[in-house]
Structure 1
Amino acid sequence: MTRRPSVDQAVGLLEGELRAGQRALADLGTEDVWQAFLRFGRRLFDVSEAPDGDGLLFQYGTYSFDGPPTFTVDLTRQFQICDADGDHDHYMQVHCEVRYGTGPALEALGSFNSWFFHDAGDDLEEWARELTELSAWTTVRTVTPIEIRVFQEQV
């Protein structure tokens, strides 16, 4: 039986997938980041068996969280963390933010989000395919990121 990694290892595993091609984050394109995130998303972790215990989020929009407005694709893995009794305590999110700056083509995309949950009966590959068939993906994948950030937060 293969042992699943713990949630505490998630950031390091995502960073490892991003570095798999031996390139610096600054040298990665949108498609490189997406493929790394999908490899990370296929890996199963030691988490709660709740239907929302392990989810992937694809979202984009123009945001100004910590500076001027920037079009951002946020690829997130969310884990439900339970207390000693097995009850929900909080969520841990591991983010891979891909920032692009601004421009009319990006701003015209508006905002969007889509969730995938392991153990919910959906197919990860189908979810990924549907996202890359969005017209917005055609625009985003041709733009060079200005920054890629990986971090985790408790929510």
Structure 2
Amino acid sequence: MPDGPRLEKALDYLRSELATGRSATTELTTRAVWLAFQRFGRQRFDTAPTPDADGLLFQYGTYTASGRPMFTVDLTRQFDIVDDDGEHDHYVQVHCELRYEPESALDALGSVGLWFFHDTNADLDQWFEGAGARLGLLLDRRPAEIELYEDLV
């Protein structure tokens, strides 16, 4: 979407949304992070005019990426970066990972991955509602760790 904020500002925008309405001593709950990610997901950025240029990914499962098994909720925004000819070059992903100590109730959730792409006929509110419904056990919990980062794919 032309005329939106530049993609280089996406991670800063997410950080700002996470800081909205909280003091330095307030720990974030899953609910607060999910609401911040929804605000971030609604903000359109200056992306290429293609249907897969701006996507949201909601995924979770028990992973060992941090060195030990943790139940991880990964809230991701993916942007398609095109070359001078308008062809796909790579993706930039902005991640907000919430990690929880493993427990049987969380492990029983298994794993899930749900995509949404702006500029398609999909309904963003429905996607947020469906993804958010999967967070029921976690909404009032505080993650053991929260990591924000950006990577190239």
Q: TM-score when scaled to structure 1?
A: 0.93
Deviations 1:104-150 (A, max 9, x none): 1111111001001000111111111112233xx21122432111111
What SS does the corresponding residue of 2:136 show, helix, strand or coil? helix
- Unaligned 5+ segments in structure 1 are none
Residues 1:78 and 1:146: Cα distance change in structure 2 (over 3 Å) = same
Looking at structure 2, the residues matched to 69 and 107 of structure 1 have their Cα atoms a distance apart, in angstroms, of 10
Looking at structure 2, the residues matched to 66 and 138 of structure 1 have their Cα atoms a distance apart, in angstroms, of 24
Deviations 1:33-69 (A, max 9, x none): 0000000000001011111100000000000013101
Looking at structure 2, the residues matched to 121 and 86 of structure 1 have their Cα atoms a distance apart, in angstroms, of 22
Note if 1:123 corresponds to 2:130.
Answer: no
Looking at structure 1, the residues matched to 139 and 52 of structure 2 have their Cα atoms a distance apart, in angstroms, of 29
Q: Of the candidates 135, 140, 149, which is equivalent to residue 147 of structure 2?
A: 149
Give the partner amino acid of 1:118: H
- The size of the alignment, in residue pairs, is 152
Give the partner amino acid of 2:141: V
What SS does the corresponding residue of 1:79 show, helix, strand or coil? strand
Match for residue 92 of structure 1? 92
Write out aligned runs for 1:1-155 (5 A).
Answer: 3-24=3-24, 27-134=27-134, 137-155=135-153
- Runs of 4 or more, structure 1, over 2 Å off, are 22-26
Q: TM-score when scaled to structure 2?
A: 0.94
Looking at structure 2, the residues matched to 40 and 46 of structure 1 have their Cα atoms a distance apart, in angstroms, of 14
Looking at structure 2, the residues matched to 33 and 6 of structure 1 have their Cα atoms a distance apart, in angstroms, of 23
What is the alpha-carbon root mean square deviation over aligned residues? 1.6
Looking at structure 2, the residues matched to 59 and 145 of structure 1 have their Cα atoms a distance apart, in angstroms, of 15
Q: Percent identity?
A: 49
What SS does the corresponding residue of 1:106 show, helix, strand or coil? helix
Higher helix share goes to which structure? 1
Residues 1:140 and 1:22: Cα distance change in structure 2 (over 3 Å) = closer
Looking at structure 2, the residues matched to 116 and 25 of structure 1 have their Cα atoms a distance apart, in angstroms, of 33
Query: Is 111-120 or 18-27 further displaced after alignment?
Result: 18-27
